[in-house]
Amino acid sequence: ESLNATAAAAAAAVKSILKRAEPTAAENNASTTQSTADTTVTKVVKSSSSSSTSRKKQKTDDREKHREKHHHSSSSSPKEVRVLHILKKHKDSRRPASWRNPKITDTKQKAISDLHELLSILSESSSNPKELRATFEELAKTESDCSSAKRGGDLGFFGRKKMQPAFEKASFGLRVGELTREVVDTSSGVHIILRLA
């Protein structure tokens, strides 16, 4: 039940994010009929009102492009990857506590079942990469037991030997934009992963 409420909230947030990103027909018409002076004023107003979030996102995207350009080996396997993940801990996890719950008592099977429900929700967005990422980030913020939840599950770039072997293998095994089809099991708990770069 709580996952359904979370899914509904995530869907609403994603629709809102996507709606804000698309210009309306009126905005498109207005911009083509404005004078050069009006266009300049509009650009200045828009640029001055852009949030620090979008500037941070641009910096992250710029760093991502730099790393993609300069951090690949001569083979097809990258030296580093960047992923989002959702971690579900269970009572047998290495540390069965999180920011969401100081004492986790769920079984491993319950954690896996919860992640399968999230995979089902995410599969509805799989044809649209922007929507998939936005939905994943929203779900991570409410459902992940990892501290990366506050960043939408973003672990940033990491290289080989930096993560647990099963997590590393799954992360490096995905194509950019690909979501794990199965749950990844580590001593920290169980995960689903979306590769960004």
Enzyme catalytic residues: 85, 146, 164, 188, 191
**Residue 154 in 3-state DSSP?**
strand
How many residues are given for the chain?
A: 197
Give the DSSP H/E element, type plus range, for residue 80.
Answer: strand 80-88
Say if strands 189-195 and 184-186 run parallel, antiparallel, or are unpaired. Answer: antiparallel
Identify whether the C-beta of residue 87 lies closer than 8 Å to the C-beta of residue 154: no
Neighbours of 144 (CB within 10 A): 28
